[in-house]
Amino acid sequence: MEKIGQGICNGSFGEILQGFLPGNKKFLVNVKIRNASYVTVTVTSCQYSNEKEAQYAESYRNYSKSYKIVRNILADLGRHDDCYLEVHSDIPIGKGLSSSTADMIASVRGLSAAVSIAVKPDYVARMVTEIEPNDGLHYVGTSAYHHTMGELIANFDYTPPLHILGIDLGGEVDTVQFNKIQLTWTEEEMEHYQNLLKEIQKTYGGRDLVRICQIATESARLWQKVRYKPELDRVLNVMEDTEALGVLNTHSGTYLGLLYPDSRTDLDELFTCVRNWFPDFDVRWFQTITCSSGKENGIYG
């Protein structure tokens, strides 16, 4: 007997803020975008044909992280079912836009629908973190999150309403390998990140869009110590020229993004201008989802 469920999860265009707190504890603040992963989960408890067996093997081969988390949750439920995943996503892979996290969370939501269970976010955090560092996308709204430990710091019923003009600097980054890099921060640097985290919690509470974007720009500058992007200075110049609110960094990825309020109407002109500045790179628009009263809109892209 087969049971089928569907799940959706939005990606995140890097992080508004990412760094290290005293005690060398890694953290980030996500920023959800409309690009999403759509997963159909088929759970079966019976023997299947050779054709089906090949499909299930392909599911494991192509989506091993998502497959593993679904099987782990089924095991926690005391079930020995197998599963098959169909994944459709418009989130670029290996670019720092949370593609694998979104696949896993969408898979968990699909499983939840298939077998009629409810799973708490803290449980999902633990299960995802067992597989790889993640971006806290299973919490509604914006999350400040210890991404290597799966611990929520704070949650905000607000996602900044932004158009993000993303500039892909090329290549791909493996999140797991990146987070194995040993980094050293001074106590002064970690205290500075702690102060920025405290401030951003206030700015989200007050929905201060301008200051949020300023903190994102500072985070992009600070991260040059970790993953240097030589194009950042040029992007900062374009920020000034086009009156962007700030620059957003995919800290462990390949993108930089120019931040514009969703009230801007000159998007075509901005795109042409930025593409002329960066003719050798892929340039594309992204948009954040909206969030209010504990609900997220724009989750369907």
Q: Do the beta carbons of residue 258 and residue 162 sit within 8 Å?
A: no
As its CATH architecture, domain 2-297 has 2-Layer Sandwich (3.30)
**Residue that has been written with the tokens 């919490």 in this structure:** 139
**Do the strands 142-146 and 246-249 form a parallel or antiparallel pair, or are they unpaired?**
unpaired
Interacting residues of 249 by C-beta distance below 8 A, sequence separation 6+: 14, 15, 18, 216, 219, 220, 223, 229, 255, 256, 257
Nearest Cα to 173, choosing from 281, 66, 99, 247?
Answer: 99
Q: What is the pLDDT of residues 187-245, one digit of tens each?
A: 999 999 999 999 999 999 999 999 999 999 999 999 999 999 999 999 999 999 999 99
Percent of the chain with pLDDT over 70: 89
Per-residue pLDDT at 45: 74
Confidence (pLDDT) at 179: 64
Helices (H) and strands (E) in the chain, counts: 9, 11
- The answer to whether residues 163 and 265 touch, using CB atoms and an 8 Å cutoff, is no
The owner of tokens 């971006």 is 135
Location of structure tokens 């392909």: 58
pLDDT over 80 at 267, yes or no: yes
Dist. CA 145–CA 196, nearest whole Å: 14
Q: CA angle, 89 as apex, 139 and 94 as ends, to 5°?
A: 85
Tens-place pLDDT, residues 154-196:
999 999 999 999 999 998 877 666 666 777 889 999 999 999 9
Q: What is the pTM of this model?
A: 0.91
